[in-house]
Amino acid sequence: MTDKIHYRRDGDIAVLRIANPPVNALSQEVRAGLAAGMDRAEADTGVRAVLIVGDGRAFIAGADIREFGKPPQEPHLPDLCNRIEASPLIVVASLHGVSLGGGLEVALSANYRIAQPAARVGLPEVHLGLIPGAGGTQRLPRICGAKDAIGVITSGRHLGAPEALALGIIDEITENDPEEAGLLWTGSLLAEGAARRPVSELPGPAPLDWDAVYDEVLKKGRGQISPAAAVRAVQASSELPFIEGLAEERRIFNDLMQTDQRKGMIHAFFAERQVSSLPELKDVPARQVEEIGVVGGGTMGAGIATAALLAGLRVTLLETTQETAEAAGARIAGNVAGALKRGKITAEQKSRMLSEALLCDTRDAALSDADLVIEAVFEDMDIKREVFGRLDAVCKPGAVLATNTSYLDVNEIAAATSRPSDVIGLHFFSPAHVMKLLEVVVADKTADDVTATGFALGKRLGKTAVRSGVCEGFIGNRLLNTYRSAADHMVLDGASPFQIDSALQDFGFAMGPFAVSDLAGLDIAWAMRKRRAASRDPRDRVGRYADKLCEAGHFGQKTGEGFYLYEKDRRGGTANPRVIDLIEAERHDRGITPRSFTDAEIQRRYMAAMVNEGAKVLGEGIAGRPLDVDMVLIFGYGFPRYRGGPMKWADMTGLPEVLADIDRFAAEDAYFWSAAPLLRELVAQGRTFDDLNRDA
Ligand code: CAA
């Protein structure tokens, strides 16, 4: 026994209580303690059943993430699960809080399971690039059939107790304290003379069209292999005896352990937990925020207001006229109705949000009580400065004044107020009530507690908040500009936008860059190109074909034509032949003889541009850690999570190889492909971006 497992007798029932705060993770001590607890119960005269319960807030949250990457120690989890299941005693698990991954696998090795109404269960291993490795893929399908088991395992989602009951994962929902309820339930099982019921002895599930399901899951995962591999493991549960199925599960699990995808997913898992906890803010309390002001009720402002309402904050939205205020209110109501439809809120919550928590107004004075105001007006420095001057006049002392600018200089905006230490950038991504990323842009004079407030707000809104310094485009849009330019250059030199989009989707991006431009609206980048034209370095290669599309009134999805042609009510578009004509004409004018690109070369160039700019942003101190850059790209720009982010990708590809690519490309265009000094330095020292993460 270890002190992580408490043993006690209640009549003929032995209770094993797991006490490993905060979430009863399955550390070596817990595994050893559970095995010893089973031994003791079996040797304890008169004991007829074992009840396993968790202390504190959860049954078991799964494997101990602090043991990841260390050599595995005995007893191994699969052996523990088999040990529990093989007991001659009746074993009951009483679940509360979460039972995830190995936690659910322990529960599945019990004969019976009950759970509290708020309990959640799940097998999230695919999010770590793995499959359940302690019998989950063999036991779950024996309980609920192959189709539902595949749904649970390949999504990694949490199931509430009612759904778990409907699938047979638990036998009953009970209201009482987990131990009391478990004792009552186990007692009645014994009274009824109930038999042992090992899941492994149930028949395997009926077969499915495994290849079709495999292909479907692979496609849905955009190249992520672990969910598809899970399908094969479930197939084994149908086709092989239990013991052989377990061996097949182990083989697949071990193969996945060796993959870059697993390394990428584990990196993302830890980075996601680290990104918003900044050591320098550890002891800095955030300011109290209950009421938010939003200036501007366009798509972005309405999205921010919606996010705040959904998080239970009060919102005052400022617009210029009665009509625009009403339009903003309607936009927010539409967003909130969407949240109701998706089951995120109840009808009652919706009506309370819209009638009691939201005010759309046209008077600046309406913002006088707001604890934090976010400006989301037109992207123009003069307009923003004017708005901040007005905010300075009406907002209460201590209110945080935030700008949602995506490119402009936050220092200059702050200088329009008498309180620059209260000013910060909070850069949301559209649609702001859906997208997870929030860049917290810290200006020169921003006070620490204002930065802490930005992060606290991000957490409250359910966002992944990342710190950025001030530069044009901050972390995300600055990288985007660079890799987008690399894509444009490839188009000028011979690739088609459609080939580039398809190659990058194959890499795992949610969308290719040209489809993204169509979605965002081509007019936005066009306006920026025009604004920058006067100050542009003559060595900067900028394609004109997109300008030509815009000049003809084609702005992408919203006008039905861009790089792609869109039909009403049809998802996605078809390649626009006009684009090819415009590109060919431009190549002709520039005297470029087009050459062909392989998909692999497209991916290498795009990634080299992204990594190089990421290294520049790090070298300049705009991003604090490589993992910050990784999280921005994953949560804001559709970067495939299973690759861990661009800086992790670079580490896994090899920094010397990435630098060699950049130097090779520089022979064609030394201006664009100037290698980041930090990248050169790391290569010279034989270090990686992960080393920098560890140093931070
Ligand atoms: N191991 C160790 N510590 C864990 C943990 C785990 N699996 N899960 C959470 N914790 C710790 C957190 O680090 C945090 O610690 P601090 O308070 O010291 O920072 C604390 O528990 C609370 O976590 P959260 O702040 O995240 O609390 P929450 O209530 O928002 O969420 C949770 C709780 C749902 C358990 C969430 O933490 C979570 O999803 N954890 C990861 C679960 C998971 O993926 N487990 C591994 C499954 S894979 C597996 O079991 C098999 C395998 O790999 C082979």
The 10s digit of each residue's pLDDT in 155-187 is: 999 999 999 999 999 999 999 899 999 999 999
147 and 62 together in one domain:
yes
Three-state SS annotation for 517-563? HHHHCHHHHHHHHHHHHCCCCCCCCCCCHHHHHHHCCCCEHHHCECC
pLDDT of residue 202: 97
Last residue of a domain, one of 453, 473, 493: 473
Dist. CA 534 → ligand 1 center (Å): 52
Residue 507 lies in a domain: yes
Task: State the Cα torsion 195-199-203-206 to the nearest 10°.
Answer: 140
**What span, in angstroms and rounded, lies between the C-alpha atoms of 625 and 694?**
9
Q: Is the minimum distance from the CB of 249 to ligand 1 under 6 angstroms?
A: no
Is there a contact between 183 and 174 (Cβ–Cβ < 8 Å)?
A: no
Q: Are strands 574-575 and 564-565 parallel, antiparallel or unpaired?
A: antiparallel
How high does pLDDT run on average in the chain? 96
Q: Whose CA is nearest to atom 14 of ligand 1?
A: 22
CA-based nearest residue to 208, from 143, 139, 137, 147: 147
Q: Is the minimum distance from the CB of 133 to ligand 1 under 6 angstroms?
A: yes
Atom in ligand 1 nearest the alpha carbon of residue 57: 29
The Cβ-side half-sphere exposure at 609, using a 13 Å CA radius, reads 23
| Most ligand 1 atoms within 8 A of CB, residue of 18, 59, 65 to mutate | 65
Q: Is the minimum distance from the CB of 107 to ligand 1 under 6 angstroms?
A: no
Which token pair is 668? 């064609």
CA-based nearest residue to 257, from 125, 124, 105, 122: 125
Residues in the chain: 696
CA-based nearest residue to 246, from 51, 366, 81: 81
Q: Which residues contact 571 (CB under 8 A, 6 or more apart)?
A: none
Long-range contacts of 681-685 (CB under 8 A, 24+ apart): 682/615, 682/655, 683/655, 683/656, 683/659
Dist. CA 158 → ligand 1 center (Å): 13
Residue 686 lies in a domain: yes
546 and 580 together in one domain:
yes
Residue 271 lies in a domain: no
Atom in ligand 1 nearest the alpha carbon of residue 58: 35
pLDDT digits (tens, 9 = 90+) for 553-607: 999 998 999 999 999 877 789 999 999 999 999 999 999 999 999 999 999 999 9
pLDDT digits (tens, 9 = 90+) for 77-101: 999 999 999 999 999 999 999 999 9
Q: Is the minimum distance from the CB of 694 to ligand 1 under 6 angstroms?
A: no
pLDDT digits (tens, 9 = 90+) for 434-472: 999 999 999 999 999 999 999 999 999 999 999 999 999
Is there a contact between 85 and 50 (Cβ–Cβ < 8 Å)?
A: no
pTM of the model: 0.92
Q: Is the minimum distance from the CB of 62 to ligand 1 under 6 angstroms?
A: yes
Cis previous bond, 75, omega within 30:
yes
Is there a contact between 119 and 99 (Cβ–Cβ < 8 Å)?
A: yes
Q: Whose CA is nearest to atom 10 of ligand 1?
A: 23
Dist. CA 380 → ligand 1 center (Å): 43
Task: State the Cα torsion 310-315-319-321 to the nearest 10°.
Answer: 100
pLDDT digits (tens, 9 = 90+) for 527-553: 889 988 889 999 999 999 999 999 999
171 and 247 together in one domain:
yes
How wide is the angle at C-alpha 335 spanned by C-alphas 392 and 272, nearest 5°? 75
Which token pair is 477? 């849009």
φ/ψ of 379, rounded to 5, equals -75, 80
| CATH value at residue 368 | 3.40.50.720
Which token pair is 688? 């990686």
Is there a contact between 606 and 663 (Cβ–Cβ < 8 Å)?
A: no
For residue 1, name the pLDDT band (cuts at 50, 70, 90).
low
Atom in ligand 1 nearest the alpha carbon of residue 65: 1
Distances (CA, A) of 354 to 331, 361, 463: 11, 14, 22
CA-based nearest residue to 129, from 245, 221, 251, 248: 221
For residue 611, name the pLDDT band (cuts at 50, 70, 90).
very high
For residue 65, name the pLDDT band (cuts at 50, 70, 90).
confident
452 and 492 together in one domain:
no
Residue 266 lies in a domain: no
413 and 516 together in one domain:
no
Is there a contact between 142 and 201 (Cβ–Cβ < 8 Å)?
A: no
Last residue of a domain, one of 216, 242, 258: 258
Q: Is the minimum distance from the CB of 327 to ligand 1 under 6 angstroms?
A: no
Instruction: Read off the pLDDT of each residue in 227-250 and give the average, rounded to a whole number.
Output: 98
> What is the count of structural domains for the chain?
3
Dist. CA 61 → ligand 1 center (Å): 6
**What span, in angstroms and rounded, lies between the C-alpha atoms of 208 and 214?**
10
113 and 227 together in one domain:
yes
Q: Is the minimum distance from the CB of 266 to ligand 1 under 6 angstroms?
A: no
Residue 263 lies in a domain: no
Q: ipTM, 2 decimals? A: 0.95
φ/ψ of 157, rounded to 5, equals -75, 160
Q: Is the minimum distance from the CB of 63 to ligand 1 under 6 angstroms?
A: yes
234 and 380 together in one domain:
no
pLDDT of residue 280: 87
Eight-state DSSP code of residue 342: T
φ/ψ of 95, rounded to 5, equals -100, 145
Dist. CA 34 → ligand 1 center (Å): 20
Is there a contact between 594 and 494 (Cβ–Cβ < 8 Å)?
A: yes
Residue 501 lies in a domain: yes
pLDDT for residue 282 is more than 70 = yes
Q: Whose CA is nearest to atom 41 of ligand 1?
A: 61
End-to-end CA distance of the chain: 39
Eight-state DSSP code of residue 65: G
pLDDT of residue 528: 85
Q: Is the minimum distance from the CB of 128 to ligand 1 under 6 angstroms?
A: yes
565 and 605 together in one domain:
yes
Dist. CA 694 → ligand 1 center (Å): 21
φ/ψ of 185, rounded to 5, equals -65, -45
Q: Is the minimum distance from the CB of 69 to ligand 1 under 6 angstroms?
A: no
Q: Which residues contact 533 (CB under 8 A, 6 or more apart)?
A: none
pLDDT for residue 70 is more than 90 = no
| CATH value at residue 36 | 3.90.226.10
Look-up of token digits 């009421």: 291
Q: Is the minimum distance from the CB of 101 to ligand 1 under 6 angstroms?
A: yes
Which residue(s) pair with 15 in the sheet?
Answer: 8, 51
Residue 264 lies in a domain: no
Q: Is the minimum distance from the CB of 123 to ligand 1 under 6 angstroms?
A: no
| CATH value at residue 618 | 1.10.1040.50
pLDDT of residue 572: 82
pLDDT for residue 663 is more than 90 = yes
632 and 666 together in one domain:
yes
Cis previous bond, 71, omega within 30:
no
Residue 136 burial class via C-beta count within 10 angstroms: exposed 0-12, middle 13-18, buried 19 and up:
buried
Is there a contact between 436 and 464 (Cβ–Cβ < 8 Å)?
A: yes
Atom in ligand 1 nearest the alpha carbon of residue 68: 53
Last residue of a domain, one of 442, 473, 504: 473
Residue, of 280 and 361, whose pLDDT is higher:
361
Three-state SS annotation for 108-153? HCCCEEEECCCCEEECHHHHHCCCCCCCHHHHHHHHHCHHHHHHHH
Q: Whose CA is nearest to atom 39 of ligand 1?
A: 61
Beta strand ranges found along 43-128 (DSSP E): 49-54, 90-95, 98-100, 112-115, 120-122
Look-up of token digits 């009808």: 347
367 and 430 together in one domain:
yes
pLDDT of residue 172: 97
466 and 510 together in one domain:
no
DSSP string, 197-209: --GGGSPPPPP--
Which token pair is 3? 């002190």
Residue 268 lies in a domain: no
374 and 313 together in one domain:
yes
Chain centroid, CA 514 distance in Å: 23
Q: Is the minimum distance from the CB of 65 to ligand 1 under 6 angstroms?
A: yes
Cis previous bond, 21, omega within 30:
no
Q: Is the minimum distance from the CB of 373 to ligand 1 under 6 angstroms?
A: no
**What span, in angstroms and rounded, lies between the C-alpha atoms of 191 and 169?**
23
Q: Is the minimum distance from the CB of 136 to ligand 1 under 6 angstroms?
A: no
- Burial code (b: 16+ CB inside 10 Å, e: under 16) for 10-48 equals eeebbbbbbbbeebbbbbbbbbbbbbbbbebbeeeeebe
pLDDT digits (tens, 9 = 90+) for 505-526: 999 998 999 999 998 899 988 9
* Host domain of residue 541: 477-695
Dist. CA 198 → ligand 1 center (Å): 28
Chain centroid, CA 120 distance in Å: 20
Q: Whose CA is nearest to atom 52 of ligand 1?
A: 63
Is there a contact between 179 and 93 (Cβ–Cβ < 8 Å)?
A: no
Instruction: Read off the pLDDT of each residue in 263-284 and give the average, rounded to a whole number.
Output: 93
Dist. CA 246 → ligand 1 center (Å): 26
DSSP string, 561-591: BSSEE--TT-SS-EE-HHHHHHHHHHHHHHT
**What span, in angstroms and rounded, lies between the C-alpha atoms of 568 and 290?**
41
